[in-house]
Structure 1
Amino acid sequence: MKYLFPRAITIALITFLLGSGIDYLAGLETTLGLDTLFQIRGTRPSPAEVVVVAMDETSESRLGVGQDLTRWRSFHAKLVEELHSQGVALVVFDLQFIASHPDHDPAFAAAMQKAGNVLVADCVQKLRRGVEDFYGRDECSESNQEPFVQREGGQQQLSEQLIAMRKIIPTSVLVQSALDHAPFYLTNDAENSTIREGWIFLDTLAEAPTLPVVAWLYYLQRTGALKGIAEPDAPISVWLNEKRRLCLSGLDKTPHPSPLPEGEGIFRGSLKESLNNLICLEDSRYLDYYGPPQAIRAESYSDVYDGKVTDLQGKVVFVGKSNRKYSPGKTDFFQTPFTDTRSGKMAGVEIMATQFANLLENRTIGMPCSTGLSNALFGFVVALLLTGMAGLSGILASLVFAGAYVVLSLWSFTRNGAWLPVVVPLLVQLPFSWLISLLWSRWDLLKERKRILSFVRRVFPQWMPFVSASPGQWYPEQGTAQLMSERDVCGLCLATDIEGYTAVASHHTPHQMWELLNAYYQVLGHPVSSHDGIIADVTGDAMMAVWIDLPVASQRLAACLAALEMEQAVARFNEPSIVGRLPTRIGLHEGDMALGRLDAGEGSHYRAIGDTVNTASRIQGVNKFLGTRILASAAIVASLTHVIYRPVGSFRLLGRDEPLELVEIVGIESEVSVAKQAIYKQFAHGLSAFQQGRWEDAVASFQTLLNNHGVDGPTRFYLDMALAYRHNSPLEWEGVIRLDAK
């Protein structure tokens, strides 16, 4: 428990930094998280006060204007008159009236002046970086191509890496007749970016307020909501601009407003705080969309123009392009979190209406606390659960917590637009917390096992042969058997010996030999433990390993694989050796043996004892005569299909009366080439002739093999024997070679 909190803090810190880095680089919370929350939440009703008058395909056809925006100008005067007659609160045009139209502008201006409630949009034009490439919405980019700046003393345009924005107001006759005008900027449609935020103020345009904000203030003023709070003595766009500059200059310090109480809107006492927040704290806000395109009430321009729509009293009407059928191919249409190939893109006028409706509801998308704090708290709780509840229970508990967090996120987003991060916590922090926790648990297990082994080695050294060096491979059956003085088993024994050990030891100090052997036996012991074997004894330059209590076929395969890995490991060990090389011979035999405790004085030692152990040691010694590395009794490989071996003859070993068929273990099937296997078959032909006493045939076969394929230990051994027997044949030949030395 004392490590619980430090460990939880460490895991939380790692996942927090990882998640923050990924989110910073990829913007996952915005591009994936916010859009997913919108999709899950679905649509919600828009305020009844907001109506879009759509310049749609039906109106284009009925009015005969086609797609030429300039031809609509002749109909705007009557539209304004119709809306004024119905008593609408405001009329907001999301159109750029830059080019002058003397035939229609006077009537349009007169209608606006009579209505006294019409707002028009300024065009925002942007200079693309590095080229004289102007772009903006509608005809703003087409009819205004003058450079922003010029070189001093000349007419040459600047073409440095420059990004600049400018505001182009409508024609003067319309501006003078309108209630007010302000810019409304959206990212260029050609960039195909998703619109998630709406500008409150455009800092690149000297902190100019945007048209939805100006419209909202005019609406509040006309409904009397601003009485006693703000009394603008100039056009609201100018008044907002001045207030914004004062706030940013530090002359007007405004505290952050407290959150609205449940059920309290801007008309119940919190308007001043909302207005202060709007002016002083932010230049953009995330939009709380009501759904896919046309989620806000929309009426066809021609229907309103003809007086077919009669319930617009007190409404705020937004007029602009809003094609309903072919928007994907139109300009001034944008991606939103709700748009897809089926719904098409959303018209710019509907995005403007959405921003106004959000202001009207005093509702916007925002995080109740910083993203970093939310992610840090989430990561700490998950880490605390994983460290406090080990294994599967901790993972399940963290899943339950993550599920509750998702429910809370969806509920808060649906209820009041509170946006809690979900992608980084769920897709980055949670799985990486699992991974780190599992790795840490594994590390703890290894540390605990090392501590236990160290304790056993110091206090109960006689138990060590029964404990594998690999984690998770305890042998309780051996542990129980150790209580007895001996245990008879049928198993497989592997014996090793170092070739030329005496010569190596004579040239080095005891300490040098201790260091060399310590490293050597670590290399030699790993293949045994990794293949479920037990190291039964280590004496000087010899090691004895046994395989017991496994199915016979499994024991044989495991021992053969361990022997092959030993051979490779020793070869790698010898390559960089400075102290000395330790080439190793290996012998394998199976049969009955006893695992027992030998008492010597006051100490006890466990050993593998029996003829099987001695025979394995003798087989290991035959390598010296044949020039091989791994020899085994033939019975061991009889049923193995994936191990390549070759018979090397029948031997009567020192101290044994019965002959023993031996084989050389060469490798596994996938690692031994076809050419090598062909050599072994040719060797088998010579060996057969030798065992049958056909000395001339044997000599010819072995000599040919050496001439064609170079040095081979068993081939050289039998060639020498065949040459000797050719001139002095044994009297009683049984095909068995007697060895009178180890």
Structure 2
Amino acid sequence: MLALTAGSLSNTLTDLELSMGLDWLFDIRGPQKPPSDVVIVAMDETSENRLGVGQDLTRWRRFHADLIRQLHKQEASLIVFDLQFIRPHPADDQALAAAMRAAGNILLVECVQKFRHGDQDFYGREECSDTNSLPAISREGDSNTELPEQLVAMRKVPPTPTIADAVMDHAPFFLINDATSTSVREVWTFFDALAETPSMPVLTWYYHQVQARKLPVTPRPISSWLTEQRRNCQNNTNEPPVDSSQKRLLGKAICQGDSRYLNYYGPPRTFRMESYADVYEGKVEDLKGKVIFVGRANRQFSPGKSDFFPTPYSDSHTGKMAGVEIMATQFANLLEDSFIEIPAPGWIISSVFGLLVALLLFSFAGWPGIVLSLVFASAYASSAVWLFGQRHWWLPIAGPLLIQLPLSWLLSLAWSRYDLMCERGRILEFVSRVFPQWVGMLPAAPGQWTESANAGIAKSEKDVSGLCLATDIEDYTAIAAQHSPREMWTLLNTYYQVLGHPVVSHDGVIADVTGDAMMAVWFDAPATQQRRAACLAALEMAAAVASFNLSSSQEPLATRIGLHEGDLTLGSLDAGSSSHYRAIGDTVNIASRIQGVNKYLGTRILAAQSIAADLESIVTRPVGTFRVVGRAEPLNLVEVVGKISGDPPSNKMHALFADGLAAFQEGRWPEATRLFQAALALDANDGPSRFYLQKALHYSEMPPLAWDGIVVLDSK
């Protein structure tokens, strides 16, 4: 839940996703090849020097007419001027207008001005400059009085009538040229503030589709028709009479919002770019059918010059991108239907990511969960990169990877630690409450010892020859994952009462209770008495747990038990300022390993062979010799089956198993196979017979190189 909340919170950091996440995706994807039909004629530094115009845009107008004739001669499809012809130049305008009219395929960018606080904070492009910034509103009284509220206004400044009447159409293309602005990632398709006027790339795209006969010819000017269709689209009225394929094209271009995220093809100068002077002088060929964008585009140095903007690919080497290149990029995205799309709201994707990470961390506690969540996050990031490159889908990655994932890890580790401490505290509280005779061996609080409660133990250690009983709950991790800590506490509270009473009733001492495991010891008594008491306690524990599982509505807690005897040290272990009472020694470890062998044999109680000696009232049977993990010396084990009174009854299945075990240990695999199959015919649920049958069948086909009758177990 915390990870889910973090996902919703991280998505609010839009600046992080815009400035980092989207840039990462562009960097990883790398540049792509732009459409070959798009060519930029750059009014660059070389042209400034060769034509002697410098950086004064008004001095270029005398050359535009010859440029248009050269492009018309080469049969260019469309010619788009990213220039605003606002002020008249009588010496040049007539010739330029005649060339535009003769070409018949000229589109002109309109000047757009944006004001905040009336005539303050003015923004415009190129010739759309401060010399044309008239107040957007009128103010009464003192003109020097500051406006009390922020007022935003946009307006178009038309080109000179001579030029406007000569071109095929014109439309605005507006980008904020603000030194404090971040990279240009989003562009307008229509301008709501300008009465739904289409932007120049949309207008150019429609004319291009008309030429390609993919869209119908409409009454000119098309810019006015597009504005009308945009309004009709918003009102769901008067749809244009077009077929289904044309309707899809128009719907995506006209009806989908008023802005789109640009899919940049690469750094500046990724599009084919020809020098204005070279085209003007007729040195450039292969322009037939091309859409030509004419505008300022420096090839070498852009810092400090206007109409250049940072993009996701901008750096100290590439510099900023010219406005005309951004216009060409938007047109190319329209042409290829390749804008960056957001398939679903970012908060939904981030929330789903956070939920899946939380499920992994909840299902797999600790480091396994962290590793699996890292693998999942890597797969998510790889999918996001692939979808960005192949489908142009933008999935959030900065927030999920930089915020959600580390935060989820920290919260998971903190919660696991807190949950563990709470569980330990509840278990120890239960033990001290239910079994008051053990209070002298229990901490007053989790991990703490008091001088009064442990006066005879906390300061001393005792070496004894005793017997250790180890228990473990089968599949405890899976069971705990399905319940809350409170539910597990309630379940274990009853379980340990059931498990502990047989130990106490047979004079045993519980040395440790940790999660799903309990360790009990017998000492300071004759060996035969200890063995008999421990075996009886184990049998009663198994019977009590079976009854508990039948009466419980929760999952059964199948319990495995292992018994071993040997030397032990009983005493307290100091850890900082705390002490912990434990039974220490190899005997404890071996008892735990014997308990684990039950998992392989399908049994419940296993003991070292020495424990079964001279126990006339306990039924046991040998189950083989094993070499367990971490111990070189093999262990001869017996299964503690039950208790009897009087003469032990004969058991034909046990006899067949014993004969089969002898044949198995001597390497007579076919005979062992036959005997184990006969044993299973009498008792199909006998785990040891089933275990050895599988081994015998395997060894019949692939005998071991050196056989000594010992079964090697490679895991706990």
TM-score (norm 2): 0.61
Aligned partner (choices 9, 16, 23) of residue 7 of structure 2: 16
Tell me what 1:45 maps to. Answer: 33
Distance of 1:154 and 1:460 partners within structure 2? 91
1:461 aligns with 2:433: no
Q: 1:31 to 1:270 in 2, by over 3 A?
A: farther
Q: Structure 1 residue 134: deviation in Å?
A: 2.9
Whether contact under 8 Å (1:121, 1:169) holds in the other structure is no
Equivalent residue runs for 1:63-462 within 5 Å: 63-129=51-117, 132-151=120-139, 159-160=147-148, 161-227=150-216, 231-251=217-237, 270-462=245-437
Correspondence list, 1:471-620, <5 A: 487=462
Q: Tell me the CA shift for residue 29 of structure 1.
A: 1.0
Shift of residue 67, structure 1, vs aligned partner: 0.7
Partner of 2:673: none
Corresponding residue SS for 1:79: helix
Cα deviation for residue 468 of structure 1 reads 3.9
* 8 A Cα contact 2:23 2:312, kept in partner: yes
**In structure 1, distance between residues paired with 2:438 and 2:131:** 93
Residue 12 (structure 1) shift: 3.7
Q: CA deviation at 1:550?
A: 6.0
> Structure 1 residue 96: deviation in Å?
0.8
Alpha-carbon offset, residue 82 of structure 1: 0.4
Corresponding residue SS for 1:329: coil
CA distance in 1, matches of 2:20, 2:96: 45
C-alpha distance in 1, partners of 2:375/2:444?
38
State how far apart, in whole Å, the 2-side matches of 1:180 and 1:333 are.
25
Provide closer, same or farther for how the CA distance between residues 39 and 178 of structure 1 changes in structure 2, counting only shifts above 3 A. Answer: same
CA contact (8 A) 1:202 1:209 kept: yes
Contact kept? 2:113, 2:154, Cα under 8 Å:
yes
Letter in 2 for 1:186: L
Question: What is the alpha-carbon distance in structure 1 between the residues aligned to residue 461 and residue 305 of structure 2?
Answer: 91
- Cα RMSD (Å): 3.1
Question: In the alignment, residue 317 of structure 1 is paired with which amino acid?
Answer: I
Give the residue type in structure 1 aligned to 2:152. I
Shift of the 55–467 alpha-carbon distance from structure 1 to 2, 3 Å rule, reads farther
Distance 1:373 1:28 in 2: 17
- Cα contact 1:126–1:164 (8 A) shared by 2: yes
Q: Which residue is 2:42 aligned to?
A: 54
> How big is the shift at 1:456?
0.5
In the alignment, the residues of structure 2 paired with residue 125 and residue 70 of structure 1 have an alpha-carbon distance, to the nearest angstrom, of 19
Deviation of 1:170 after TM superposition, in Å, equals 0.9
**How far did 1:36 drift?**
1.1
- Alpha-carbon offset, residue 167 of structure 1: 0.6
Q: Work out whether residues 131 and 159 of structure 1, in 8 Å CA contact, stay in contact via their aligned partners in 2.
A: no
Q: Return the alpha-carbon distance in structure 2 between the equivalents of residues 473 and 330 of structure 1.
A: 72
Sequence identity (%): 53
Q: Is the Cα–Cα contact under 8 Å of residues 425 and 446 in structure 2 kept in the other structure?
A: no
CA distance in 1, matches of 2:337, 2:235: 26
User: Which amino acid in 2 is paired with 1:138?
Assistant: E
Cα distance in 1 for residues equivalent to 2:243 and 2:367? 52
Distance 2:444 2:377 in 1: 39
- Given that 2:80 and 2:292 are in contact with CA atoms closer than 8 Å, whether structure 1 keeps it comes out as yes
Query: Once the 2 structures are TM-superposed, how far is the Cα of residue 446 of structure 1 from its aligned partner?
Result: 2.2
Structure-to-structure mapping, 1:630-709, within 5 angstroms: none
Give CA-to-partner distance per residue, 1:466-525, whole Å, 9 cap, x none: 3445656899xx99x99xx99489xxxxxxxxxxxxxxxxxxxxxxxxxxxxxxxxxxxx
Shift of 1:253: 8.0
**Helix, strand or coil for the counterpart of 1:421?**
coil
Greater Cα shift, 233-242 or 128-137: 128-137
Q: Structure 1 residues 194 and 470, CA, compared in 2 at 3 Å: closer, same or farther? A: farther
Q: 1:158 to 1:434 in 2, by over 3 A?
A: closer
1:193 Cα shift?
2.6
> What is the one-letter code of the residue matched to 1:177?
A
**Whole-Å Cα distance in 2 between the matches of residues 158 and 487 of structure 1?**
90
User: How many Å separate the matches in 1 of 2:145 and 2:211?
Assistant: 46
Alpha-carbon distance in 2 for matches of 1:381, 1:271: 41
Distance verdict in 2 for CA 1:467–1:309, change over 3 Å: farther
User: C-alpha displacement at 1:208, in angstroms?
Assistant: 0.8
How far apart, in 2, do the equivalents of 1:296 and 1:473 lie? 73
Does the 8 Å CA contact 2:342/2:394 hold for their aligned counterparts? yes
Which letter maps to 1:411? W
AA aligned opposite 1:455: F
CA distance in 1, matches of 2:202, 2:412: 50
> For the residues of structure 2 that align with 1:102 and 1:335, how far apart are their CA atoms?
37
Question: 1 CA distance for matches of 2:249 and 2:442?
Answer: 72
- State the secondary structure of the residue aligned to 1:123: strand
- The alpha-carbon deviation at position 223 of structure 1 amounts to 1.3
Q: For residue 40 of structure 1, what is the amino acid of its counterpart?
A: I
Q: Is the 8 A contact 2:41 2:295 kept in 1?
A: yes
Deviation for aligned residue 1:130: 6.1
Aligned-partner Cα distance in 2 for 1:486–1:142? 92
Post-superposition offset of 1:445: 1.1
Asked if structure 2 preserves the Cα contact closer than 8 Å seen for 1:53 and 1:320, the reply is: yes
Q: Per-residue deviation at 1:415?
A: 0.9
Cα-to-partner distance string for 1:92-116 (whole Å, 9 max, x where unaligned):
0001110100001111110110000
Distance 1:331 1:460 in 2: 85
Q: Which amino acid aligns with 2:177?
A: N
Secondary structure class of the residue paired with 2:220: coil
CA distance change for structure 1 residues 157 and 184 in 2, over 3 Å: closer, same or farther? Answer: farther
* Aligned counterparts of 1:548 and 1:456: Cα–Cα separation in 2: 18
Q: Specify whether residues 459 and 154 from structure 1 end up closer, same or farther in structure 2 by C-alpha distance, changes over 3 A only.
A: closer
Paired with 1:302 and 1:367, the residues of 2 have a C-alpha distance of 41
Pick closer, same or farther for the CA change 1:243–1:472 going to 2, 3 Å: farther
Q: Could you list the runs of 5+ residues in structure 1 that have no partner in the other structure? A: 1-9, 255-266, 490-546, 563-742
Q: 2:97 is aligned with what amino acid?
A: A
Paired residue secondary structure (1:279): helix
Which segments of 5 or more consecutive residues in structure 2 lack a partner in the other structure? 465-569, 580-716
CA distance in 1, matches of 2:29, 2:287: 29
